[in-house]
C-alpha cells in the first residue's frame, strides 16, 4: 500500500475487522523486496 493511501487502508481494514501487520521496518521484508 503506498504511504499516501495508508490511512485509508487502516480505516478500511479496521472497519472490516481485518487483522494486519505493518512490516515496512522489518529487516527480512526489506531484504525480500530488494
pLDDT tens for residues 3-31?
899 899 999 999 999 998 877 788 888 88
* 29: Cβ contacts below 8 Å, ≥ 6 apart: 23
pTM to 2 decimal places: 0.56
Domain containing residue 3 = 1-33
Structurally, the chain folds into a number of domains equal to 1
pLDDT at 2 over 90: no
pLDDT recorded at residue 31 = 86
What does R_g of the chain's alpha carbons equal in angstroms? 11
pLDDT recorded at residue 28 = 84
Residue 23 · residue 29 · CB < 8 Å? yes
pLDDT recorded at residue 21 = 81
Amino acid at each position: 500500500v503506498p504511504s499516501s493511501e495508508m490511512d485509508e487502508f487502516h480505516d478500511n481494514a479496521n472497519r472490516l475487522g481485518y487483522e494486519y501487520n505493518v512490516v515496512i521496518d522489518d529487516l527480512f521484508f526489506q531484504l525480500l523486496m530488494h
